């Protein structure tokens, strides 16, 4: 019997365990496998294989019986208020899978399937600069980042070369250049707006083609992944049969699989990380099988926690031991605190006079982007908030159809839509939020989910800094529009709740000091060095850039460090 | 398909509708009423006639050639709450009675102009459920038509795989 147990335990022992298979879990798996480590990836959701599990990826609108509308009998279990569509219904999470308690309004988007949110993301990849890493220490909030741009720069390069980024070399200090393939170009109105901004603001404000994880000129490394050029289908959130955009499913996971070192275990809900009080280190992970509900253990020398920001917090909080009664690595009580996100509350739109003789053709999977311009080089004296916001910009010339009538006239109107008189511009703010201790997540003491895991309580809210920043965005956008000659300007604070941005971060923040942070500059838990937290949970501050690229670069960096440390016998 | 055959497949003869709607003359054998529907074959025929009135066919392009009537039946059956569906059926009946009263013929046998007149009277009705019926069927008929393969590809230039984006195209005069 004892012998059988040893055999069984050995079969469940790996060099490394990665919790989660999204953008960062995929990167951890790739780097660890490339280094020859026998790696187990645990994904709580179902398996999603590239191409074969994208049932709607090549369907035209008319091939959906209800043209995308979800039949009533398929809507049950998703709760109300969700915009369900047949194109993407298979990615939706049922409410009973992981109920949570929003103590204050909060929306928690999750991608619980192999590939996670990397399959569904907006694919925008702007680098951080030192203005972001130095933010907390300059402006006196959170704690100092223990890393700077030079620490992450080679890892941005590393990730970008493999993922494939479309963009320009813009030479803007606050938005360092990426390793790029040709940009998905701006249109004629965006070029005009870019010039107008330059005319009025000089080098203080820029409009550029957003950098995005699309292949516009696939290189050998991408062909090796089996991916090909983006063909602008713009149905990305169904999965892309071409691998035209980066996802774990199309890129890192199959790559890791090819090394022969990866074991992928879907349907594995992580309960907690196992800390051995005698060995004084983490020895593995407890998992509940989603189907059998059986609890089982897997063992490894190192554990990467990449379960998505809030879920990673949850797992660590639920990892209790004699040594860590309040959650793994949580001696200072800060685990789950200083949650932050991005402020997407502001929208602004306008009409663009002129350009009546111009239109667009084809489709575009990306946007234009205005990097943060507020408080970049210093805290500006006339600005009543800290930090700043970037702006997403989308323009186009739609068409319209008069449907007031019925009969022959209606048919002809529909068959012959008229180009809109004017082009339209729409912009949205992407604001940095300042992490505050009161914005936190914690485990419920009495409510559990169907796996017996305590439910997460989310307690996050806007504060005055966010309100003032939103107001400034609305004013500045109005001013920029006016200076460009745009009309019918409409601005709005949508008051969307925190989390609606899908950029929640923090709770396991990085810092120099174990007294005030949870992980060190290598993403290792200060008090459990063989555990690495490299998803959004690790973020000390949020920047204003779409964060996934930075998470991925931090992950690749940490994974290679972990391998080196393991080799040296330090873990 | 001959009018008589179409009539038979729709089961309209049994429903007591003797004459065949004009729009059915272009039907092919695949255009049979959907059997497993909560809409009776008469209701299906009426609904088809409404769709045909909203977007009549020309050169084989319109609600019926693009099979919008089938889309509507399935959509209302599967995607709408019973209450809304029942209202649609009720109003179809009201509409047909109105045609009998005003024009001395079934809705389907009325002329396009007469049918338009009846539908427009629903759009201006003070009875909310009549207005709702009209708006709903109109919106969904337009949606079904606009998202059909022929309209999207042949008229709106839709390509599943465009392969490009050009943000600076001259508008042809």
| A309 phi, psi to nearest 5 deg | -45, -60
pLDDT score recorded for residue A362: 97
A:B CB pairs within 8 Å: 122
The gap from C-alpha A340 to its chain's centroid, in whole angstroms, comes to 13
Of B53, B54, B166, the CB nearest to A362: B166
Tokens representing A389?
């916001």
- Residue A130: strand, helix, or coil: helix
CA distance B97 to B38: 21
The rounded mean pLDDT for chain A is 97
- Nearest C-alpha neighbor of A181 from the set A222, A150, A211, A216: A216
CB contacts under 8 A, A 162-191 vs B, are 184-190
Residue B88: enclosing H or E segment and its boundaries?
helix B82-103
Per DSSP, A566 falls in state: H
Mean pLDDT along residues B138-156:
98
pLDDT of A226: 98
Residue A532: which H helix or E strand, with range? Answer: strand A528-533
- For A348-405, the pLDDT digits (tens) are 999 999 999 999 999 999 999 999 999 999 999 999 999 999 999 999 999 999 999 9
Which helix (H) or strand (E) is A524 found in, with range? Answer: strand A524-525
Domain ranges of chain A: 12-52+109-166+212-343+503-571, 183-210+350-431+462-497
Q: Which residues pair with A491 in a beta bridge?
A: A348
Tens digit of each residue's pLDDT (9 = 90 or more) over A10-20: 999 999 999 99
Tell me: pLDDT of A487 over 80.
yes
Query: Which pair of structure tokens corresponds to residue A147?
Result: 């890393």
Domain A12-52+109-166+212-343+503-571 fold is FAD/NAD(P)-binding domain (3.50.50)
**Tokens at A256, concatenated:** 């890791």
The distance of A245 to chain B (nearest Cα, Å) reads 14
In terms of residues, how long is chain B? 173
Q: How far apart are CA A31 and CA A12, in angstroms?
A: 21
Q: How far is A9 from chain B (nearest CA, A)?
A: 50
DSSP bridge pairs for A172: A175
User: CA A463 to CA A150: how far, in whole Å?
Assistant: 32
Q: Over 60: is that where the pLDDT of A28 sits?
A: yes
Taking the C-alpha atoms of residue A245 and residue B11, their distance in angstroms, rounded to an integer, is 52
Q: Which burial class, exposed, middle or buried, applies to B134 when counting CB atoms under 10 A from its CB (0-12, 13-18, 19+)?
A: buried
- The answer to whether A136 touches A541, Cβ cutoff 8 Å, is yes
Q: Helix (H, G, I), strand (E, B), or coil: what is residue A563?
A: helix
Q: Which residues pair with A231 in a beta bridge?
A: none
Average pLDDT over residues A497-516: 98
In 3-state terms, what secondary structure has residue A430?
strand
Residue identified by tokens 């994208």 is A54
Q: Are A456 and A387 in contact (CB under 8 A)?
A: no
Give the rounded distance of the alpha carbon of A426 from its chain centre: 22
Give the confidence band of A513 by pLDDT, cuts at 50, 70, 90.
very high
Positive or negative torsion for Cα A159, A162, A166, A171: positive
Q: Which residues of A touch B80 (CB under 8 A)?
A: 72
> A403, A559, A363, A374: which is closest to A476 by C-alpha?
A374
pLDDT at A2 over 80: no
Residue B83 CB partners (closer than 8 Å, separation 6+)? none
Contact A361 B164 (CB under 8 A): yes
What tokens appear for B72 in the block? 């509507």
Which pLDDT score, from 0 to 100, does residue A81 have?
A: 66
How far is Cα A356 from Cα B142, in angstroms, rounded to an integer?
A: 28
Q: Which residue of B has its CA nearest to A423?
A: B167
- pLDDT category of residue B59 using cuts at 50, 70 and 90: very high
* Inter-chain touch A414–B142, beta carbons under 8 Å: yes
Test the A interface: residue of B165, B170, B171 with most A CBs within 10 Å: B165
Question: Is the pLDDT confidence value at A446 over 80?
Answer: yes
Measured between CA atoms, the residue of chain B closest to residue A410 is B55
Task: Give residue A181's region: left, alpha or beta (phi > 0; psi -120 to 50).
Answer: beta
Query: Per-residue pLDDT averaged across A273-295, rounded?
Result: 97
A281-310 mean pLDDT: 98
Asked if A69 and B79 come within 8 Å (Cβ–Cβ), the reply is yes
Q: Which residues contact A343 (CB under 8 A, 6 or more apart)?
A: A389, A429, A430, A431, A432, A433, A462, A466, A469, A470, A501
Q: What is the DSSP letter of A510?
A: B
Residues A318/A271, Cβ–Cβ less than 8 Å: yes
A213-236 pLDDT per residue, tens: 999 999 999 999 999 999 999 999
Position of tokens 């923040």?
Answer: A509
Residues of B in contact with A188 (CB under 8 A): 167-168
CB–CB contact B160 A364 (8 Å): no
Mean pLDDT over A132-147 rounds to 98
Band of pLDDT at residue B32, cut at 50, 70 and 90: low
Give the 3-state DSSP-derived string for A237-296, with helices as H, strands as E and coil as C.
HHCCCCCCECCCCCCHHHHHHHCCCEEEECCEEEEEEEEECCCCEEEEEEEEECCCCCEE
Q: pLDDT tens across A392-443, in order? A: 999 999 999 999 999 999 999 999 999 999 999 999 999 999 999 999 999 9
Each residue's pLDDT tens digit, A449-482: 999 999 999 999 999 999 999 999 999 999 999 9
Residue A441, pLDDT score: 98
pLDDT in tens, A76-135: 999 876 789 999 999 999 999 999 999 999 999 999 999 999 999 999 999 999 999 999
**Is the predicted pLDDT of residue A569 greater than 60, yes or no?**
yes
Are A416 and A384 spatial neighbours (Cβ–Cβ below 8 Å)?
no
Phi, psi of A505 (to 5 degrees): -145, 165
Q: Indicate if the pLDDT at residue B24 is higher than 80.
A: no
State chain B's mean pLDDT as an integer: 87
Residue B9 has pLDDT above 70, yes or no: no
ipTM over 0.95 threshold: no
> With bands split at pLDDT 50, 70 and 90, how would you rate the model's confidence at A1?
low
Under 8 Å between Cβ of A127 and A545: yes
From the CA of A219, how many Å to the nearest CA of chain B?
18
Residue B162 to residue A232, Cβ atoms within 8 A: yes
Q: What are phi and psi of A370, to 5 degrees?
A: -115, 110
pLDDT band at A5 (very low <50, low <70, confident <90, very high): confident
Q: Given a cut of 70, is residue B20 above it in pLDDT?
A: no
pLDDT at position B34, please? 82
pLDDT at A90: 96
Q: Which of the four pLDDT bands, split at 50, 70 and 90, describes residue A4?
A: confident
Mutation target among A365, A367, A411, A417 for the B interface, most CBs of B within 10 A: A411
Chain B residues whose CB is inside 8 A of the A67 CB are 71, 143-144, 147
Query: d(Cα A90, Cα A380) in Å, to the nearest integer?
Result: 47
A294 band by pLDDT with thresholds 50, 70 and 90? very high
**Percent with pLDDT over 90 in chain A:** 97
Tell if the CB–CB gap between B151 and A71 is shorter than 8 Å: no
What is the tens place of the pLDDT at every residue in A172-204? 999 999 999 999 999 999 999 999 999 999 999
> Among residues A320, A224, A228, which one has the least CA distance to residue A272?
A320
Give me the phi and psi of A264, to 5 degrees please: -100, 125
Write the pLDDT tens digit of every residue in B64-110.
Answer: 999 999 999 999 999 999 999 999 999 999 999 999 999 999 999 99
Q: Which two tokens stand for residue A303?
A: 């554990």
Instruction: Find the helix packing angle between A464-483 and A188-201, rounded to 10°.
Output: 100
DSSP run (H or E) holding A9: helix A2-11
């Amino acid at each position: 019997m004892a012998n059988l147990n040893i055999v069984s335990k050995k079969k469940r022992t790996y060099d490394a365990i990665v919790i989660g298979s999204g953008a960062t879990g995929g990167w951890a798996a790739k780097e660890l496998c490339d280094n020859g480590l026998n790696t187990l990836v645990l994904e709580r959701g179902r398996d999603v294989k590239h191409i074969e599990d994208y049932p709607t990826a090549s369907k035209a609108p008319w091939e959906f019986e209800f043209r995308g509308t979800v039949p009533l009998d398929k809507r049950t279990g998703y709760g109300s208020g969700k915009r369900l569509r047949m194109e993407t219904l298979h990615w939706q999470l049922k409410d009973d899978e992981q109920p949570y308690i929003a103590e204050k309004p909060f929306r928690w988007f999750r991608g619980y399937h192999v590939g996670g949110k990397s399959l569904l993301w907006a694919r925008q990849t702007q680098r951080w600069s030192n203005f972001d890493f130095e933010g907390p220490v300059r402006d006196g909030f959170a704690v100092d980042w223990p890393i700077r741009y030079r620490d992450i720069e080679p890892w941005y390069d590393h990730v970008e070369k493999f993922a494939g980024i479309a963009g320009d070399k813009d030479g803007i200090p606050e938005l360092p250049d990426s390793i790029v393939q040709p940009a998905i170009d701006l249109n004629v109105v965006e070029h005009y707006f870019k010039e107008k901004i330059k005319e009025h603001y000089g080098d203080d404000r820029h409009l550029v083609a957003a950098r995005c994880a699309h292949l516009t000129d696939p290189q050998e490394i991408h062909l090796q992944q089996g991916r090909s050029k983006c063909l602008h289908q713009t149905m990305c959130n169904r999965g892309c049969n071409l691998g035209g955009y980066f996802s774990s499913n199309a890129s890192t996971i199959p790559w890791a699989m090819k090394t022969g070192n990866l074991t992928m275990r879907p349907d594995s809900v992580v309960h907690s990380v196992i800390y051995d009080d005698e060995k004084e280190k983490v020895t593995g992970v407890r998992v509940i099988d989603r189907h059998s509900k059986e609890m089982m253990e897997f063992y490894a020398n190192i554990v990467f926690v990449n379960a998505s920001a809030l879920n990673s917090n949850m797992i660590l909080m639920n990892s209790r031991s004699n040594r860590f009664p309040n959650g793994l690595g949580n001696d200072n009580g800060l685990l789950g605190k200083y949650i932050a996100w991005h402020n997407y509350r502001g929208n602004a739109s306008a009409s663009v006079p002129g350009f009546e003789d111009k239109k667009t053709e084809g489709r575009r999977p990306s946007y234009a982007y205005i990097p943060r311009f507020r408080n970049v080089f210093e805290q500006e004296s006339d600005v009543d908030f800290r930090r700043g916001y970037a702006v997403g910009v989308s323009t186009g010339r739609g068409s319209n159809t008069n449907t007031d009538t019925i009969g022959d006239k209606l048919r002809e109107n529909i068959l012959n839509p008229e180009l809109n008189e004017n082009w339209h511009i729409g912009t949205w703010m992407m604001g940095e939020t300042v992490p505050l201790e009161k914005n936190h997540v914690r485990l419920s003491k009495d409510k559990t989910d169907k796996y017996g895991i305590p439910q997460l309580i989310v307690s996050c809210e806007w504060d005055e800094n966010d309100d003032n920043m939103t107001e400034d965005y609305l004013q500045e956008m109005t001013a920029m529009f006016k200076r460009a000659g745009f009309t019918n300007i409409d601005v709005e604070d949508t008051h969307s709740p925190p989390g609606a941005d899908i950029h929640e971060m923090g709770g396991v923040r990085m810092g120099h000091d174990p007294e005030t942070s949870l992980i060190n500059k290598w993403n290792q838990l200060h008090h459990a060095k063989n555990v690495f937290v490299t998803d959004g949970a690790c973020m000390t501050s949020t920047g204003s850039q779409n964060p996934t690229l930075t998470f991925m670069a931090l992950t690749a960096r940490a994974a290679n460090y972990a391998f080196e440390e393991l080799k040296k016998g330090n873990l | 398909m001959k009018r008589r055959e179409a009539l038979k497949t729709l089961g309209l003869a049994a429903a007591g509708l003797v004459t065949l709607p004009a729009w059915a003359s272009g039907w092919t054998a695949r255009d049979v009423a959907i059997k497993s529907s909560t809409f009776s074959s008469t209701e299906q025929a009426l609904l088809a006639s409404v769709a045909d009135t909203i977007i009549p066919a020309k050169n084989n392009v319109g609600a019926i050639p693009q099979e919008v009537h089938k889309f509507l039946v399935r959509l209302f059956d599967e995607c709408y709450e019973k209450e809304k569906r029942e209202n649609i059926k009720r109003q179809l009946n009201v509409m047909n009675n109105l045609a009998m009263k005003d024009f001395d013929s079934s809705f389907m046998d009325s002329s396009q102009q007469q049918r338009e007149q009846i539908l427009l009277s629903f759009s201006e009705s003070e009875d909310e459920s009549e207005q709702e019926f009209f708006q709903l069927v109109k919106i969904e008929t337009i949606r079904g038509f606009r998202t059909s393969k022929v309209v999207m590809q042949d008229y709106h230039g839709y390509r599943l795989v465009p392969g490009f984006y050009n943000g600076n195209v001259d508008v042809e005069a």
